Every structure is written in structure tokens, then in C-alpha cells.
Amino acid sequence: MLPGREPVAPTERGELARVDADLLDDLLNNAGEVSIFRARLEQQMTSIEFNLAELDRTVTRLREQLRKLEMETEAQILNKHHTDDQAHRTDFDPLELDRYSNIQQLSRALAESVSDVASIEGLLAQLNRDTQNLLQQQGRVVTEVQNGLMRTRMVPFQRHVHRLTRLLRQAATEAGKKAELIVEGASGELDRQVLERMLPPFEHMLRNAVVHGLEAPAERIAAGKPESGQITLKLQREGAEVVITVEDDGAGLNVAAIHAKARQMGLLQPGMELTDEESLQLILEPGFSTADRLTQQAGRGVGMDVVATEIKKLGGALFIESKPGAGARFTVRLPFTLAITQALIVRVHDELFALPMATVEGVARLTRTEIQRHLDEEPATFNYGGHHYRFQHLGVFVGSGPSILPETDVALPVILVRAGEHSTALVLDELIGSREIVVKPVGPQIAGIRGISGATILGDGRIVVILDMGTLVRSEWRARAADSARSVHDDRIFAMVVDDSITVRRVTQRLLERNGMRVLTAKDGVEALSLLQEHVPDVILLDIEMPRMDGYEVAAHVRSDARLADVPIIMITSRVGDKHRARAIELGVDDYLGKPYQESQLLDAIEPLVLARRRLP
């Protein structure tokens, strides 16, 4: 050993334990359940605290009333004593005659009861404070447990870099091109489950970059580029999200080839014009591929739709950018972990929804006047932070219709969403706030509905649907594109559904749309009459019991309006008594169905009424 050199203590190896991955997943899910129950307990403790404050105010009010009672009683006794003195002179004081005894005993007993209630209120308040402190301590412990369990699920991205490099080199060799992979942030960690499910999409994007993006060596040299193409895969952490970018320096996406393939597949009708951003979204359609020949790398009918679907299942978002001659960039935003994520809780009408932070770009607040001005524009647009957004109510996407703006010029929240490059500004009724939510899977019936990626449970026990805004915006864009491609005269049956139950409205809407009808919904009679000022449907499906205006009043208004008098009305209600049916027939209702009804029964009732109306001169 050299003089002056202190011996170096050997590093101790920590013990390692092999734990089943499914067990870790179950533990993390259970930790999430604990978080939900703790949030519900906190909600209840807040309610208890509010009621204790009410009890404190009640005790104070009772004391004041008791003090006034004592003063009034004493005044009456003294007045009676004065009157007695005048009628019968006496030398005795009222106290000596025991005239105060009964009332005084009652008032003193009431005072003692008030003091006892105040003492109990103080004890309950102290217990409430102690319980809240315990809940805060438990919350810190639960957070540490969750973080520890999540760290056990984290794996470095570096372990898969060699696999991706080998795949890229093989794809370039088979395509007769040269390419190199540059990985930035490879030391970053991802949730094991996220990484395993995202490896196939990453491989597909790298193959796409080689086969469709990079030019042949001779073309690159002619364009002044290096002979070898460069594909960059960058991974970075942003808050509760992981952002992964796949970028190449190739020729960019071929918009003309995308258009030609879309017309061949029937996605574009003759005469339809799309912007470049809308054109890029076509590559996310099922089975879309611009490959002109079948190879191991391309043209197999498995395209970017698989990538987009997998990202959606993971609760993430995909953004596409392309510059002709400069390459393309695919940005994937994923939650840091699948079990717990950040989301905005918003309210539209009486419904609450959750928007994952991965799809939210920002929040703005605009006054009612500004919102109305943007909505009146054609098309409704909004510019914020140098970006261009389409302006819409969130209610339009979730089937509840646009919200009615308040009368006063107050500021309303507007959520800025980047969904597949279809930037949209969503007008809300209320922004509840940001929450750390536990994502729960939904059943196959709800999972099949477009735009729903899961559900969560709030602290008060309410179940909130998690929206996939990317899918909703793309489906709404396709609907607009289809409407613009149709001729001005639409032969489809146009039905209006009026019911105060959002479930009934959505179920009926899906039934009618599956059978080729256009559907307009209203939550009550007032909204129905407002919509009827702009639309004349072929048939109205009407409920009886609704707030603000019931079905009978709506039917009477329709029959008294010359423009709407011949529109058939079918009442669908749980009121199946003869009295209700007779009242409906008296108002001119054409048919009367009781709930629940068979789907075929409703369709059989609609068709002859609409055909008869269309045969009218």
C-alpha cells in the first residue's frame, strides 16, 4: 500500500429479490385503491368540518337566544312584582317569595345544556383536526409506497437500444439505404409495462422512417444531404409524462401519395380539399399504407393505426409533423406510469369528465363576450400563443350539446388541446381542477364507445369517464368531412330526441345512427324549442316528464307552429296509463311507446310516419 493512501472500503452489494411482475402490479393497484379511499375519507372529513362549523354557529345563536330569554323573563317578573306592590303592598322581595325559582331553574338547565353541547362540539373539532393530521401523514406514507412500487416497475430505455439499432440496420440493408440511429436520453426510465407495449410501435415507426422517409443514397447526395440518413429517437421526462420523439431527415411524408391512397380507399370523396394537417391524419386510418409493393418491412396492411391505437390504450397522445424535403417528426406523449396519472376534471352541463394531461396543452380564460365572438366566426377559430385552434364546446363531443353561456360577462375556462395536430379550444361550464387519478378499465360495452379510454373514481365516490380527445376530434373531423362531401340534399331521416336522461339520449342516438339516421338531441323542452327554431326534423321522439318544460307543452308548441305542424311526434315515456295516452293523442301526438321498448318497435314506428310526411305536397 502506498504511504498516505487510506484503504478503500469495499462497496457492499445490496441484496436482490426476484418478485413476480404480476404481484408488483397488484400491489401498485392496491396502493391506488388506498389513495381512492383516502381521498374519500378526506372528502368526508371536509364535510364533517363544515358541519362542525355549522354546529358552532348554532351554539352561539342558541346562547344569544337564551340570554334574551333570561332578560325577557326577568323583566316580566319585575313588572309583575311592581304591579302586585301597587295592588297589595308587601315588604317581600320576589326572590324571598321564590317567584324566580321555576323559570330560573329552566333557564339555568338550558344554559348548562348549551355549555355541554359547546363542549362536545369542541371535542369533535379537536378529533377532526387530529384525524386530518393522521390522514396527511398517511397520505405521505401512501405516496412513498406508490413511488417505491413504481420505481420497482421502472426499467432503463438503454437495455433496448441495441435491439432497435439492429432492427434499423437490417431495415436499411433490405431497402438498399444507409441509416444510423441516434438515441438521446437512453438512460431515462419507463414503466416496464409501458415500454413492453410500446416497443412494437417504436419498431414500426423506425421501419417507416427507413422505408417511407429516407431517400436512396444517390437521391440524398443529389439533394445536398449526407449519404447516410439520420434517425433520432429522443426520450425525456416532463412532469408526470414521458415524451418520446422519433425524427428523421428524409423527404417528409408524401401528401400527394396519401391523397391518392385515401381516394382509392374511399376515405376522400371527389371534390374534398384537405389541409396538410388533415392529410397527415389519414395515415392513422385502419389498413392505410402507401407502400406500392409488399415486402417484409412495408405494405402488410399494418400501418400507423396500430401505433395510434396502442398509444391511445396507454392513455397517451401522438402528434405528427412533416416538412417536404426536411423529414418527419412523430411525438409520443405517454403517462409516466399506467396506474396513476394526472388529469383535469371538467364539468359540462351536469356531467363530469377527465382529460388526461398528455392531451392538454394549456388553459385559457375568456369572457363570455370573447367566447361568443369566436363562436360566431365562420369557421370558429381562436389564436393563442402563436397557435391556431378550432373553437368548440366540449358538449358537442360528448353528445350533450353546446352549453348555454351565462348572462353575465364572466370569465369561462377554455382548454387548449392538441389532438393529432387538430388543435382545438374546448369551452367548458367549469374547470374543477387538476387531480391525480387512478385509471380504471371499463367494461366491453363502454370500451366500445369511441372516445372513452377509461374511468376513475373521485373522492366523493362519483365515477368519471376519462376522454380520449384525439379520437373524439378525429371522429368529429371525419363527420364534418362526410357532411361536406355529401350533396346539399341529405335523404337520411333527421330525428330529434328530447329526453332529460343523458343515458336515454345517447342510447337512442346510437340506435338511430346505426340505422342510417341523423340525430339531434335536447335535454329538455326549452332546449328542444330553441333547436327547432333552426332545424326542422323528420320526426320528434319526445319524453313527458322533463324539467323546465314537459313533453305535453313541447307537443302543443310544435302543433301550434305552422312550420312544424306536420312533423310526426312519437312519445316515449314510462307513463303508460290511459289518461296520459289520451292527453297525448288530444295534443296531436302520432304514436305513443312505453319504456322499455324493443329497438325494432321504435324503428317500425318511425319509418311509416316519415314516409307519410315526405309524400305530402
pLDDT at res. 205: 86
- What confidence tens digit (pLDDT) does each residue in 428-485 have? 888 888 877 777 777 766 766 667 777 888 777 788 888 877 667 766 555 554 444 4
- Cis ω before 356 (30° cut-off from 0): no
| Alpha helix segments (H runs only) across 223-353 | 255-264, 276-281, 304-313
In 3D space, the residue among 539, 610, 601, 543 whose CA is nearest the CA of residue 576 turns out to be: 543
Q: What is the pTM of this model?
A: 0.52
pLDDT for res 483: 47
What are residue 594's DSSP bridge partners? 573
Helical spans, DSSP H, in 265-399: 276-281, 304-313, 368-376, 394-398
Cα–Cα distance between 376 and 427 in angstroms, integer? 14
Domain 21-153 has CATH 1.10.287: yes
CA 240 vs CA 41, 333, 357: distances in Å:
25, 10, 8
Low-confidence ranges of the chain (pLDDT < 50): 1-5, 8-11, 293-302, 420, 481-489
**CATH code at 176-335:** 3.30.565.10
C-alpha 211/C-alpha 74 separation (Å) is 100
Domain chopping of the chain, boundaries:
21-153, 176-335, 340-473, 490-614
H or E, element range at 161: helix 161-175
The predicted structure's pLDDT at residue 261: 73
Measured on CA atoms in the order 293, 297, 298, 299, is the torsion positive or negative?
Answer: positive
Residue 100: the pLDDT is 54
Domain 340-473, classified CATH 3.90.1150.10, yes or no:
no
Specify whether domain 490-614 bears CATH 3.40.50.2000.
Answer: no
State the Cα–Cα distance between residues 478 and 40, nearest whole angstrom: 40
pLDDT in tens, 227-284: 888 899 998 887 667 888 888 888 888 777 777 777 776 666 666 666 666 667 677 7
